[in-house]
Structure 1
Amino acid sequence: MKYCYKVPCKKEMLKEIRCFVKEVLEKHGLSEVDVSTLVLAIDEVCANLIIHSHCCNPKESIEVEINVDKDKGLIFNIIDKAEIFNINEYQEPTLEDIIKKQRKGGIGLILVKKIMDDIQIYSDKKKHICRLVKKIPIN
């Protein structure tokens, strides 16, 4: 089963994205912990795109696509047209560096990489897709 949600690139839309993802996952019987964890990961990727890649420009948009497959698990496609950022090439700071430099960020992408089983980046001339896969039993 496939679900899609397209929103303008405004920070206020992050709440709507979280609600959409939560609603879809709850519909398929995932535990509260699994739902919360996956919502966190999707929210982090969408927030980074909206804030950093699109500079909160409401004339631009991102699309969240959720594919629920009993055999493959959950496949989240986050689709946009901004300059691509490859999360797989992201060099994770150590916790000591974050604390020492008193950074206010840097942990979100670490969490995404730990939560998801696979992360793939696809790109063509018209769009970019960040595919996040979670192999989890689905009802």
Structure 2
Amino acid sequence: MGRNGLTIYLAGKMGGLSDSEMKKWRNLLKSELEKYSDMANYKTNVVSPCDYFNFNEQRYQSEQEIMKFDLSLVKNSDIVIVNTNGLSSSIGSIIEVYEAWKNDIPVIAYDENGDYKTIHSWLKCCITRADSCVIDICEYIKDFYMR
């Protein structure tokens, strides 16, 4: 983090979802974060795992390859935003949140549907804050991290 920019990783359930279901909330957040980044005159790189591997075109040789790649993206991020919708059934997202926590990377839960209250208390310990609104998340990041 700093004047060189901010990298934000978008974690959330992908397995069992269509491409549009995986990407819809990520594209919305990315678009809004880019607007707030422009307002703050602050360079921001929003990373979506959907931009790399997908379930339709197998360009990977093993699940371990995907796991190492995604966790590397998490570890090189300044902030992780995780969608709580389906989080409890997404082992990959749970591991990403835990890795962020282990590496002192703030985790913001995007809790549009109120699922935060149902996730395990240990996972809640890894989450810095939870907001139900994209705009609230973007304003928080602008006010506290785009400085």
**TM-score, structure 2 as length reference:** 0.32
> Of Structure 1 and Structure 2, which has the larger fraction of its residues in helix?
2
